Amino acid sequence: MVFGIGIDMIEVERVAAKIQKQDFLERVFSKGEIEFCESNPIKEERYAARFAAKEAFFKALGTGWMGQFTFNEVEVVKDEMGKPGIKLHGTVAEWVAEKEIKKIFLSMSHLKSMASAVVVLET
């Protein structure tokens, strides 16, 4: 059964300005996400897509971002085929387990100027 659906879009330029600040990177992205994005020539687009995925995830929860969670507890990962997914950590993982959410589906897209993501949560 579908628990929630979330979508988000963001301007790549807006994220590009924020990633210049080290504290932003560490507050929002996991070590693995930073390594992946930094190794890519279009890192701004990669960061923006991941930021949109995190926002879409929180919208799918039905709460939007809440201060009790941190963005870097929501990690965008890829499986062996390159399919994106979300791995949860900390208080977000605990909250999702309490709600009995079993599956998280993620789709991301990005262009030079825009990035977007859609998240579906299933119980």
Question: Which are the catalytic amino acids?
Answer: 59, 110
Amino acid at 80: E
Distance CA 49, CA 64 (A): 17
Distance CA 53, CA 115 (A): 9
Sign of CA dihedral 59, 45, 33, 21: negative
Q: Which residues pair with 6 in a beta bridge?
A: 119
Residue 13 CA to its chain's centroid (Å): 17
Q: What single DSSP character describes residue 123?
A: -
